[in-house]
Amino acid sequence: MRTSAFVYPWDVVGDAAAPARLAALGVAQVTLAAAYHSTRALTPRHPRHRVVTAEHSAVLYPPDATRWQGRALRPYPAGDWAPGDAWGEAAAALAAAGLDVHTWVVLAHNSRLGAEHPHTSVVNAYGDRYPWAPCIAQPATRAYLTELAAEAAVRPGAHGTELESLGWYGLAHLHAHDKTGGIALGEAGQYLMSLCFCPSCRTGYGAHGLDADELAAAVRGALEPLWRGAADDGGWPAVEKLLGEERAAATRAWREKAAATLQEAAVAAVRAAAPDGFQVLLHADPVSHHCGANVGVDPAHILSVADGVVVPCTGGTALLAPFAERAGEGSVLAANLTIVSGMGGSPGTLAADAARARADGATQLRLYHAGLASDADLAAVREALTAR
């Protein structure tokens, strides 16, 4: 199977040995971050640094000033963690080592956007804003995300893109020093705490027959037993039990429509800007009401819009099946496997995990993350890939 490793530009820029080291892993491709959220990352082999602190969400190339002129919402250039055209410099070095380069674009996950433009954020049923989670129903935010997708995806030298967070983000997010684990919110609680009540969503609920104030009160009431320590049975049936079937279905219909139409618009914008043959994949979860970096989607719909999906498979490949059942000829189903032992990965079982993913419908592999992995982790990956 074709295999790609995720990397950051700062893993490559300033380290002349990095491209050859990545190529020696046995991968054909790298998925190189072009727009990324704030992070603190180790660079275990870099000759000049060991820790990179990306202070805010940023594009890792110079944004086109003409494209963004007059727009209130616009991408933030990176600071000294990725100065200038860091993506372009890294991509050129990787391509010179014989690697196919694709962009990695994080979209609806941006804490600085929420801090500077609070009205763009998801607002929960209690009135709390989630600055890390732009509301994807708001027209201005949708326009910004669509434009960003086109610019960040189609960088010079890129042969494809992977769009992450192109959908709803919710409560579940490691935000700064996170202290949200004291209440065991399961799938139902996460969904209820992720419902948005910004003006655009309130209007959207109204179009589906819901009074937004009554809905917010119902959500708060449904959550009350969870705050007292009641078990969250998880799954959509638990949402229906807590909120009521009709009310739950209406919220889901609104959110699924908002996500699906944004995905259609963003993919269309990327295709319009890209050369022929440019591959467009989404990081996705086959349960449409799920939130997060791997956005919840309807498998049949998303495979009719994009060229394929990247599916989280660390710990198991169950999420592949709904996509495999609906995949057409040529659909890309990339199984994403963590190869960093310290982050819960198992590089030593990569060959077996890859075989299992292939049996369950995967056509490609993604390895998270070649820049963060130790030398021992990379040695295990190299052994597994070069032995195939």
The number of distinct structural domains making up the chain is 1
Could you tell me how far CA 77 lies from the centroid of its own chain?
20
The pLDDT tens digits of the residues spanning 352-386 come to 999 999 999 999 999 999 999 999 999 999 999 99
3-state helix, strand, coil in the chain (%, to 5): 40, 20, 40
379 lies in a domain? yes
- If you count them, how many residues does the chain have? 388
The pLDDT tens digits of the residues spanning 305-317 come to 999 999 999 999 9
The pLDDT tens digits of the residues spanning 325-352 come to 999 999 999 999 999 999 999 999 999 9
The pLDDT tens digits of the residues spanning 132-179 come to 999 999 999 999 999 999 999 999 999 999 999 999 999 987 777 777
92 lies in a domain? no
What is the rounded average pLDDT for all residues in the chain? 96
Burial (CB count within 10 angstroms: exposed 0-12, middle 13-18, buried 19+), residue 174:
exposed
Residue 190 confidence (pLDDT): 95
The phi and psi torsions of 129 (rounded to 5 degrees) equal -90, 145
The pLDDT tens digits of the residues spanning 269-307 come to 999 999 999 999 999 999 999 999 999 999 999 999 999
Rounded to whole angstroms, the Cα distance separating 254 from 290 reads 14
| Domain span including residue 384 | 307-388
244 lies in a domain? no
Residue 72 confidence (pLDDT): 97
Residue 178 confidence (pLDDT): 79
The pLDDT tens digits of the residues spanning 98-132 come to 999 999 999 999 999 999 999 999 999 999 999 99
Joined together, the tokens standing for residue 328 give 């057409």
210 lies in a domain? no
338 lies in a domain? yes
Joined together, the tokens standing for residue 46 give 């870099």
Range 296-300 contact pairs with CB under 8 angstroms and sequence separation of 24 or more: 296/167, 296/168, 296/259, 297/167, 297/259, 297/260, 297/263, 298/256, 298/260, 299/323, 299/325, 299/326, 300/326
Rounded to whole angstroms, the Cα distance separating 73 from 75 reads 7
Whole-angstrom CA distances from 287 to 185, 194, 237, 299, 311 are 18, 15, 13, 8, 12
* Structure-model confidence comparison of residues 184 and 170, the more confident one: 170
Give the lowest-confidence range in 13-22, 86-95, 226-235. Answer: 226-235
Regarding beta strands 58-59 and 29-36, do their DSSP bridges make them parallel or antiparallel, or are they unpaired?
antiparallel
Q: What angle do CA 233, 238, 240 make, to 5 degrees?
A: 175
Q: Which helix (H) or strand (E) holds 101?
A: strand 100-106
Provide the percentage of residues in the chain whose pLDDT is more than 70.
99
Q: Is the pTM for the entire model greater than 0.85?
A: yes
312 lies in a domain? yes
Could you tell me how far CA 141 lies from the centroid of its own chain?
17
Residue 388 confidence (pLDDT): 67
Q: What is the mean pLDDT of residues 226-231?
A: 91
Whether residue 180 has pLDDT greater than 90: no
73 lies in a domain? no
Whether residue 8 has pLDDT greater than 80: yes
320 lies in a domain? yes
Residue 106 confidence (pLDDT): 98
Residue 55 confidence (pLDDT): 96
Joined together, the tokens standing for residue 204 give 């959207």
